[in-house]
């Protein structure tokens, strides 16, 4: 079944091929583009405006003149009257503290936490003797512990940042100072400096290339840090600087003035002029070397620093570093505020009770007289503050430090997970933050980059069709099809690339027999029609291609005997089946995103002229001659290739007479020196020669996905996680990958920008026509956008995204209003313009709603800023937890905007990893990160918090019940040291271990049943409902723990005839009951028992009794008589069997209802997790019995459609200029690097 191909040409909307930079446009562009805006009548096309950089250009750089950049005109005000140069230094700073600011800043940040501030206030209250019933150390010890542990963690994190900054800032580079090159640190480089860079050096700033050791100042750079692409890009110095600035002395006298655009984040654009010796020279991006790139294949180059440090494009693309907090963090803070309110209400109620009690009883009882003449209301006021201190443990101070310890442990488990370790690149998974682990268990939307994240960015020549016959399936030399084949042996070809694999032996025998002229012509075309550059390294051929596709096609031709050897400005030399031939290149018609094809016109050794052309089927078929053969058979083959999601290119040729070429060449020359719109003029001339073409065939290239990508996407989709792909690539490329990774399927209805815009326009028009609604019906539910049954997918380009979200007019409108003064809003709104900000917001809500109705969303040709905007729209309007994953600097903004950012490491650049929260080497590890580590972290944290609140309520509210029997006097029910050590020693370890180690099911079952992930997305394991359940559970337990011993002690006689019903014995019994109850309760909630858990529960109870007997001993009382007053209380009380029975009864009654409720829940209303747990043994047995896959795995066919060629234009300008050609050694042959595709095990499905 063939899929409908999409071509956006001819549409009236934005150009699908252009990457828009809506809000990043420079003011120069906007001034030019807005001068005539709104003047002419609608519908009349405006003449194109040429942008000129006049004398008022904002950024001026003077070569070799540091004092120039510190002149008063370049100063800007920073703080009060202090001024600073507008030119940034080249040092970068990502750390937060230094030696002086660490303690004050860190304490300030920590005391921004409400709980810490509350405990500081409490400490101050406890120093006041009139209101304090608890000694000050009960608060100081835990507070110092919490602040100290958090400060140490922050210090360790910041020291790592210091080290990273220091490493980058102290990199060495040669700078021209005092007439000679001297080694200098990166951070000492300034704007206007001339620098010398060597091969494999990182570029320290945004630099204007002046000259290089290559002929004509050609310089190759690798941009992996910027965009994740590993193919080399070339940069060229101006001819004038190349000729005059090769020697050190010439560079020292260089004094040009550069005028250019202000620093901005556009990676694809640079505009400026160079004024030197009274001549002006235009500058563009081809002359610039950007920070973060790496010099390759160039021994030495010189450049002038234009932007440094924070002004460089890579730093401008970083976006703001946002402080990320999890949903649970926010919920926890709100719950702490709720506890504050409850605490104040309870303390106020008890204070009022004390006032009444003192009025009625206390003042009249002679034995309670304390010699103070205080009114009942004043005593009540003091009692209020006394109860704030006594009940302070309702807000647990150790909560935050325990949470930090758990998160640190969970981060270590991610780092240590060998199943997320990638041996090929020796890259383990890395949790780069310790504060977001449980959020990994709540992800609803994933935003993924394409190149280098889903794909390997490695192209492989898989199939082709030549003269109507298709090659590429496993076939014998005689043409007999096979189920399984073995790769072709290319040992007959000394220049073959050893890594190249092809399964069809019949094509090789056809080529070697030289009988099929079409097949020979096919590969000759591939070896001649390209812009690949060649290098000879140690007798090997190394190809440098502008795109991986080009490299794959030329490598295929090389293996089939047509070896591209060298090129000059006007010749190409190839070896055709061991015979070397040189062809004269008459013209090179380069690829661009509008033409979607490239052509070359050659004069053959025998004198005839032929044009070779390759391009997208949509453009080639329009230009074929009526006499061309094989059109239908090639179209059928293209449809098959498209359904296998291979990237296709059509190949064709045309013979040209000398007279026809001479006439065309005159027109071509005129167009190439045109001062107007040169590109449009050249395109028109190209159209005149690229017609009446004869079809030879088509190629099919596989863009290799990373291992396990389709399975990972399918598994995450079962967990109800939606995946959106945001890429800067072309629409066709993005669509191909969508099909190959099974994000898009054949049963999906695809919707493009025009369709989406129309639907949103209709919704907006209907809203405007509706009468304003009042009362109850104000918010009626919106109708769905897609009423047809079936699955939908959205494929939208950056241009349409701006059109839909009204982004493109924003800055222009702001500038126009600034120029013309504020205009009143139009009285008759047009459909394409928002009336006000509310309408713009509603439009954005509509877009997000529509996108969320779709099964898949692909945004292509989007800028780094648009990627971040899409993420923030979903966060804002869906209140969803988002995750972004990418591998290049163009993904940094998106990674920082999402709730969780993941960087792909070990693949290309490290820029994305540096900004990410988690990093690993392959996309497939995302499945384990979310479904195993994320889910476990969420379950553990929820269980920990529920239990932590419960144990503190159960502990603290005993004071509340005791107050009814102590005249509301803020007297404590326990001993002071028990209160101090309860959260630190007696009850912390078991709950901490549950937060670290608990798992409801193991990792294999977590992956096998993705539905187990749903409770996290719904936030159902920890919310206000759970909080109040913990509160009522705590109230119930505290009631039992107080009133059963109270009843048991009432009118009781011990075995020895003494009454055990004194206050100290009562405190021992309630404390012992509480410790045993709390530790057994956590045992009931533990799903995964280990020796450590068992030891912690029994150990906590043992520690309690051990410390209690020590504290109650006579020896310690003799040393500190005022601090230890419960002398002999424990040994006396716990000698009575009656009190042991009381403890057992209290614990039993506290736990029995919980056991019953848990039993009923798991039997009558089991969750998915309960069902899996119940059958855990069965599933684990199934896993073990599962047959191991056979050693041979046939490559599954993946889908890839239509046309995707170069990411950017090729090297044609460079070749035609003749500036790229070096004198080559005569040695031939070689091996090109490629990466072996590792077969992957199939992921388990339910």
Which residues belong to the active site?
449
In the structure encoding, which two tokens stand for residue 999, read together?
């798992």
**Burial degree of 1167 (CB within 10 A; 0-12, 13-18, 19+):** middle
CB 642 within 8 A of CB 1197: no
Which of the 8 DSSP states describes residue 914? H
| Order of strands, sheet of 180-185, starting from the edge strand that comes earlier in the sequence | 180-185, 172-177, 194-198, 300-307, 206-212, 288-289
DSSP 1208: S
Query: How is residue 984 written in tokens?
Result: 């630190």
Q: Is 232 helix (H, G, I), strand (E, B) or coil?
A: strand
DSSP string spanning 24-72? Answer: T--HHHHHHHHTTTTTSPTTSPPPPPPP---TT-SEEEETT-TGGGGSG
CA-based diameter of the chain, in Å?
A: 131
* Closest-CA residue to 1007 (of 722, 1244, 710): 1244
**Local structure of residue 427 (DSSP, 8 states):** B
User: Cα–Cα distances in Å, from 463 out to 301, 522, 694?
Assistant: 41, 13, 20
8-state DSSP, 1236? P
Distances (CA, A) of 1109 to 1033, 1079, 1139: 30, 19, 16
Which residue from 400, 392, 405, 402 is spatially nearest to 138, judged by alpha carbons? 392
Q: Are strands 722-726 and 856-860 parallel, antiparallel or unpaired?
A: parallel
Exposed/middle/buried for residue 180 (C-beta within 10 Å: 0-12, 13-18, 19+): exposed
Token look-up 């009526």 returns 626
What is the number of other CB atoms lying within 10 angstroms of the CB of residue 965?
11
- DSSP, collapsed to helix, strand or coil, labels residue 599 as strand
**Distance in angstroms (rounded) separating the CA atoms of residues 918 and 913:** 8
Q: Is the distance from CB of 917 to CB of 890 less than 8 angstroms?
A: no
* Element containing residue 431 per DSSP (H, E): strand 430-431
Rounded Cα–Cα distance for residues 721 and 447 (Å) = 11
HSE-CB at 875 with a 13 A cutoff on CA atoms is: 20
Residue 1079 has a CB neighbour count (10 Å cut-off) of 23
Q: Would you give the DSSP letter of residue 1175?
A: T
Helices (H), 707-797: 709-718, 731-740, 753-769
Rounded to 5 degrees, φ, ψ at 526 are -65, -35
Closest to 971 measured CA to CA, from 1038, 1034, 1061, 1063: 1063
For residues 825 and 1160, what is the distance between their CA atoms, to the nearest angstrom?
A: 64
**CA–CA distances in Å: residue 519 to residues 468, 506, 577:** 11, 11, 13
Whether the CB-CB separation of 394 and 956 falls below 8 Å is answered with yes
Report CA dihedral (1020, 1021, 1027, 1031) to the nearest 10 degrees: 130
Pairing type for strands 918-920 and 430-431 reads antiparallel
- Is 588 within 8 Å of 568 (Cβ atoms)? no
Alpha helices in 741-836 (DSSP H): 753-769, 798-805, 810-820
> Is residue 874 within 8 Å of residue 32, measured between CB atoms?
no
């Amino acid at each position: 079944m063939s899929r409908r191909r999409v071509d956006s040409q001819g549409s009236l909307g934005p150009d699908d091929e252009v990457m828009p930079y809506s809000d990043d446009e420079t003011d120069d562009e906007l001034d030019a583009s807005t001068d005539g805006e709104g003047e002419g009548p609608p519908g009349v096309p405006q003449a194109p405006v040429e942008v000129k950089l006049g004398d008022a250009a904002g950024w001026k750089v003077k070569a070799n003149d540091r004092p120039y950049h510190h002149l008063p005109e370049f100063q800007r005000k920073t703080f009060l009257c202090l001024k600073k140069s507008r030119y940034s230094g080249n040092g970068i700073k990502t750390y937060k503290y230094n030696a002086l600011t660490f303690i004050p800043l860190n304490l300030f940040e920590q005391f921004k936490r409400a709980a810490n501030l509350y405990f500081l206030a409490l400490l101050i209250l406890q120093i006041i003797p009139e209101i304090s019933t608890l000694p000050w150390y009960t608060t100081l010890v835990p507070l110092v512990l919490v602040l100290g542990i958090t400060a140490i963690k922050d210090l360790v994190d910041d020291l790592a940042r210091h080290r990273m900054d220091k490493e980058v800032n102290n990199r060495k580079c040669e700078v021209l100072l005092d007439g000679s090159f001297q080694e200098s640190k990166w951070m000492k480089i300034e704007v206007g400096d001339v620098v010398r860079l060597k091969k494999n050096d990182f570029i320290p700033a945004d630099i204007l290339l002046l000259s290089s050791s290559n002929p004509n100042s050609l310089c190759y750079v690798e941009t992996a840090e910027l965009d994740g692409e590993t193919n080399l890009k070339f940069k060229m110095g101006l001819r004038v600087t190349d000729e005059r600035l090769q020697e050190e002395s010439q560079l020292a006298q260089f004094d040009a003035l550069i005028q250019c655009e202000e620093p901005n984040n556009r990676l694809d654009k640079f505009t400026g002029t160079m004024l030197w010796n009274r001549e002006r020279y235009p500058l563009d991006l081809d002359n610039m070397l950007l920070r973060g790139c790496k010099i390759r294949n160039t021994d030495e180059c010189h450049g002038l620093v234009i932007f440094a440090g924070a002004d460089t494009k890579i730093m401008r693309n970083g976006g703001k570093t946002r402080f990320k907090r999890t949903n649970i963090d926010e919920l926890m803070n709100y719950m702490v505020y709720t506890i504050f309110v409850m605490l104040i209400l309870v303390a106020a109620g008890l204070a009022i009770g004390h006032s009444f009690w003192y009025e009625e009883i206390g003042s009249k009882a002679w034995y309670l007289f304390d010699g103070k003449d205080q009114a009942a209301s004043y005593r009540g006021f003091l009692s209020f503050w006394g109860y704030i201190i006594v009940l302070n443990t309702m807000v647990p101070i150790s909560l935050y430090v325990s949470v930090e310890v758990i998160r640190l442990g969970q981060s270590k488990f991610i780092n240590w997970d060998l199943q997320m370790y990638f041996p090929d690149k020796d890259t383990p998974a890395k949790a780069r933050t310790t504060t977001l682990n449980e959020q990994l268990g709540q992800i609803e939307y994933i935003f993924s980059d394409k190149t280098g994240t889903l794909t390997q960015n490695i192209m492989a020549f898989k199939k082709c069709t030549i003269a109507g016959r298709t090659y590429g399936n496993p076939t014998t030399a005689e043409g007999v099809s096979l189920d399984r084949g073995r790769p072709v042996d290319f040992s007959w070809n000394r220049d073959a690339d050893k890594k190249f694999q092809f399964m069809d032996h019949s094509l090789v025998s056809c080529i070697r027999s030289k009988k099929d002229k079409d097949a020979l012509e096919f590969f000759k075309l591939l070896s001649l029609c390209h812009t690949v550059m060649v290098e000879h390294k140690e007798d090997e051929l190394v190809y440098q291609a502008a795109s991986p596709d080009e490299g794959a096609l030329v490598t295929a031709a090389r293996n089939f005997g047509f070896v591209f050897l060298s090129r000059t400005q006007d010749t190409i030399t190839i070896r055709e089946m061991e015979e070397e031939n040189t062809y004269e290149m008459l013209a090179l018609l380069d690829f661009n995103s509008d033409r979607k094809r490239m052509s070359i016109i050659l004069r053959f050794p025998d004198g005839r002229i032929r044009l070779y052309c390759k391009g997208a089927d949509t453009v080639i078929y329009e230009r074929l001659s009526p006499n061309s053969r094989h059109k239908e058979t090639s179209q059928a083959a293209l449809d098959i290739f498209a359904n296998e999601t291979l990237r296709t290119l059509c190949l064709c040729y045309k013979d040209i007479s000398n007279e026809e070429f001479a006439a065309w060449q005159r027109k071509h020359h005129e167009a190439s020196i045109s001062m107007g719109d040169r590109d449009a003029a050249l395109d028109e001339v190209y159209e005149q020669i690229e017609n009446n073409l004869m079809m030879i065939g088509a190629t099919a290239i596989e863009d290799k996905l990373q291992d396990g990508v389709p399975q990972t996407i399918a598994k995450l989709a079962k967990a109800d996680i939606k995946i959106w792909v945001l890429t800067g690539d072309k629409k066709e490329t993005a669509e191909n990958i969508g099909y190959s990774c099974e994000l898009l399927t054949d049963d999906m209805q695809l919707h493009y920008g025009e369709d989406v815009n129309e639907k949103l326009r209709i919704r907006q028009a209907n809203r405007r026509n509706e009468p304003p609604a009042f009362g109850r019906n104000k918010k009626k539910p919106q109708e769905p956008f897609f009423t047809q049954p079936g699955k939908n997918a959205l494929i939208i380009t950056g241009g349409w995204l701006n059109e839909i979200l009204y982004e493109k007019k924003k800055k222009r409108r702001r500038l126009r209003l600034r120029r013309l003064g504020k205009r009143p809003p139009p009285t008759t709104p047009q459909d394409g313009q928002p009336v006000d900000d509310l309408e713009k917001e509603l439009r954005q809500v509509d877009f997000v709603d529509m996108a969320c109705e779709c099964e898949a969303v692909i945004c292509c040709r989007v800028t780094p800023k648009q990627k971040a905007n899409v993420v923030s729209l979903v966060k804002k309007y869906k209140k969803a937890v988002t995750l972004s994953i990418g591998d290049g600097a163009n993904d940094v903004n998106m990674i920082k905007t999402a709730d969780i950012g993941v960087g792909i490491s070990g693949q290309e650049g490290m820029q994305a990893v540096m900004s990410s929260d988690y990093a690993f080497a392959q996309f497939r590890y995302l499945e384990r990160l979310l479904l195993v580590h994320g889910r476990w972290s969420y379950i553990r944290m929820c269980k920990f918090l529920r239990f932590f609140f419960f144990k503190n309520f159960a502990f603290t509210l005993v004071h509340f019940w005791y107050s009814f029997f102590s005249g509301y006097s803020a007297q404590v029910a326990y001993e002071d040291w028990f209160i101090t050590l309860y959260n630190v020693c007696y009850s912390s370890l078991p709950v901490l271990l549950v937060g670290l180690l608990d798992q409801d099911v193991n990792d294999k079952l977590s992956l096998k049943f993705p539905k187990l992930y749903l409770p996290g997305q719904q936030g159902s394991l920890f919310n206000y409902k759970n909080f109040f359940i913990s509160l009522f559970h705590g109230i119930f337990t505290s009631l039992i723990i107080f009133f059963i011993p109270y009843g048991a002690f009432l009118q009781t006689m011990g075995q020895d005839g003494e009454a055990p019903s004194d206050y100290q014995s009562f405190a021992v019994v309630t404390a012992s009951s509480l410790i045993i109850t709390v530790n057994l309760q956590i045992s009931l909630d533990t799903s995964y028992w280990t020796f450590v858990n068992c030891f912690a529960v029994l150990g906590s109870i043992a520690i309690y009794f051990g410390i209690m007997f020590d504290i109650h001993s006579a020896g310690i009382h003799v040393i500190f008589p005022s601090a230890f007053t419960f002398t002999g209380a424990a040994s006396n009380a716990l000698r009575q069997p009656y009190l042991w029975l009381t403890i057992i009864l209290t614990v039993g009654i506290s736990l029995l209802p919980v056991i019953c409720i848990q039993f009923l829940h798991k039997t009558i209303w089991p969750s998915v997790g309960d069902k899996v747990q119940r059958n855990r043994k069965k599933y684990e047995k199934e896993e073990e019995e599962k047959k191991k896959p056979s050693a041979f795995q046939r490559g599954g066919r993946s889908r890839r459609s239509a046309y995707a060629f170069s990411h950017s234009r090729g090297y044609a300008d460079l070749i035609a200029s003749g500036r790229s050609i070096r004198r080559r050694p005569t040695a031939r042959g070689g091996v090109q690097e490629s990466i072996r595709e590792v077969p992957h095990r199939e992921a388990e499905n339910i």
